[in-house]
Structure 1
Amino acid sequence: MPTKTSFPAEPSAKPAAPRGFSHIDSWIFDLDNTLYPPACDLFAQVDERMTAFIARYLGVDPVEARRIQKDFYIEHGTTLSGLMAVHGMEPKEFLDFVHDIDVSAVMADAGLGEAIARLPGRKIVFTNGSVAHAENVVRQLGIGHVFDGIFDIVTAQYEPKPRLRAYECLIEATGIEPARAAMFEDIARNLEVPHALGMTTVWVRPGLPGPERHQQLSHEGADGPHVHHVTDNLADFLKGIAPSAPAE
């Protein structure tokens, strides 16, 4: 079973030794609901705008648009991927529209920035969203300066996590060595491929799931061997593994 922070580990007859961090020199962070808490609820805005876009693009009512949206998310990894695969949609207008949101609910987090900055090696944001959206969020958090790059869905050739090809594109573009990388994610299934590639994985648990299937995907498989560590507080977790700042 994975080791867990903030709550006791469940007993296991054959506990698995989780991968550690002493060898890590590449730190890969998901963006939404990972670098900021789900309570900020930015996705509610994105969700509403996706429904509106689909209703207009396909000429359907909002109820049908939301059904299509969630079905595509479950079946294709992202709503965007479903629209591209099934309807041949060009992605730019969709990405620009759905990420045109108010990020003021996200509070600056200097402690998180300091914890990430102390990690040895490169730090990269890896998102199924756009670079523009990621830049807006990390700017609002006040931590944009600690990252060496942002790898988005466009750079991934529109291959979303959890698909293997998305991670292959990341590795090809950045030159990271998977066995020396750590991946932080709020969606447990997105850690399956990193685990298989040799990365150390951390599930940033996003609170209790809602009743609908798409709301439960973040938790599905979270007790599997691909989740090495679990935390409810990313900043505190990173402070526990980062080298101490040198004394002045």
Structure 2
Amino acid sequence: MTNRPDPARFAHVTDWVFDLDNTLYPHHSNLFSQIDKKMTAYVAELLNMPPDEARKLQKDLYRDHGTTLNGLIERFNVDPDDFLRVVHDIDYSWLKPDPDLSEAIKALPGRKFIFTNGDRGHAERTAAQLGILDHFEDIFDIVAADLTPKPAQKTYDRFVELHEVAGPNAVMFEDLARNLRVPKKLGMTTVLIVPRNFEPDFSEIWESDPDEKDDVDFVTDNLTDFLQSIMKKDAAKTAS
């Protein structure tokens, strides 16, 4: 599934902003499932709860506070450094190096950023495993956001101010439509990454946001193909 990009929508882009989990690597890799299980186990141990109750609370915290971490901080005064250390202690070998993605990102003109609700260490390890880390100008993580997760307006404002990003000259790639609402307001072109062979029946897994469809300019289930398509069209335009 690829909503083929219009070259005119990307010819002006100087800043390429990528979410990390389930965006720079595909949903079917299941890397994030390790983190998800670690979060459930953390909640269960913290509050001495059975796993099924901990799972429900974890998801409630995510829904009500933007991230599980944010909810744990606000409701239970959890040490964020401890939480991030525990839940990101995972096996990154589940991810395979992706040379095609690496070349596609490298070919993009301008600056590239990772903008994640995770922490820098997790982003660096993930990007290094994929073979793409060296292509990024910087990583804007949950610590840089002062622990306020996307989709909070002030978090995007902080990122834009720090890196002097002009919205109309930027594009944001995300796997959650709700996290594209503010970028769209800022004038960014928005691209939603969905699971491979996505169908509406998968909406519960995807945690889709039907109310946010107006904030999404393009949809794709293959980031590499999408980026390659942009560059092929730009090359054709230059050649002509």
TM-score by length of 1: 0.87
Q: Does 1:191 align with 2:202?
A: no
State which of 153, 164, 168 in structure 1 corresponds to 2:157: 168
Residue 128 of structure 1 corresponds to which residue in structure 2? Answer: 117
Cα distance, 1:5 vs. partner?
2.0
Residue 171 of structure 2 corresponds to which residue in structure 1? Answer: 182
> Does the 8 Å contact 2:17/2:115 carry over to 1?
yes
Q: Does 1:80 align with 2:69?
A: yes
Residues 87 and 185 (structure 1 numbering): CA distance in 2 closer, same or farther, change over 3 Å?
A: same
2: distance between equivalents of 1:244 and 1:212? Answer: 36
Q: Which 4+ runs in 1 deviate beyond 6 A?
A: 209-212
Residues 196 and 175 (structure 1 numbering): CA distance in 2 closer, same or farther, change over 3 Å?
A: same
Residues 209 and 140 (structure 1 numbering): CA distance in 2 closer, same or farther, change over 3 Å?
A: farther
- Percent of aligned pairs sharing the same letter: 48
> Does the 8 Å contact 2:93/2:129 carry over to 1?
yes
> Does the 8 Å contact 1:128/1:160 carry over to 2?
yes
Cα distance, 1:165 vs. partner?
1.5
2: distance between equivalents of 1:205 and 1:19? Answer: 23
Cα distance, 1:221 vs. partner?
2.4
How many residue pairs are counted as aligned between the two chains? Answer: 233
Cα distance, 1:19 vs. partner?
7.8
- Secondary structure of 1:224 counterpart: helix
2: distance between equivalents of 1:84 and 1:223? Answer: 27
Residues 92 and 115 (structure 1 numbering): CA distance in 2 closer, same or farther, change over 3 Å?
A: same
Residue 31 of structure 1 corresponds to which residue in structure 2? Answer: 20
Q: Does 1:232 align with 2:229?
A: no
> Does the 8 Å contact 1:77/1:161 carry over to 2?
yes
1: distance between equivalents of 2:19 and 2:163? Answer: 15
> Does the 8 Å contact 1:182/1:202 carry over to 2?
yes
- Secondary structure of 2:62 counterpart: helix
State which of 114, 122, 137 in structure 2 corresponds to 1:148: 137
Q: Does 1:203 align with 2:192?
A: yes
2: distance between equivalents of 1:209 and 1:90? Answer: 38
Structure 1: which 5+ runs fail to align?
Answer: 8-16
2: distance between equivalents of 1:75 and 1:228? Answer: 26
Deviations 1:172-231 (A, max 9, x none): 221111121100001111111100111100001123577795x342x2127722100111
2: distance between equivalents of 1:198 and 1:221? Answer: 21
- Secondary structure of 1:80 counterpart: helix
Which amino acid in the other structure matches residue 185 of structure 2? A
Residue 5 of structure 1 corresponds to which residue in structure 2? Answer: 2
- Secondary structure of 2:214 counterpart: coil
2: distance between equivalents of 1:118 and 1:103? Answer: 25
Residue 68 of structure 1 corresponds to which residue in structure 2? Answer: 57
2: distance between equivalents of 1:204 and 1:212? Answer: 13
> Does the 8 Å contact 1:183/1:201 carry over to 2?
yes
Residues 228 and 24 (structure 1 numbering): CA distance in 2 closer, same or farther, change over 3 Å?
A: same
RMSD, aligned CA: 2.4
Which amino acid in the other structure matches residue 119 of structure 2? S
Structure 2: which 5+ runs fail to align?
Answer: none
Q: Does 1:109 align with 2:106?
A: no
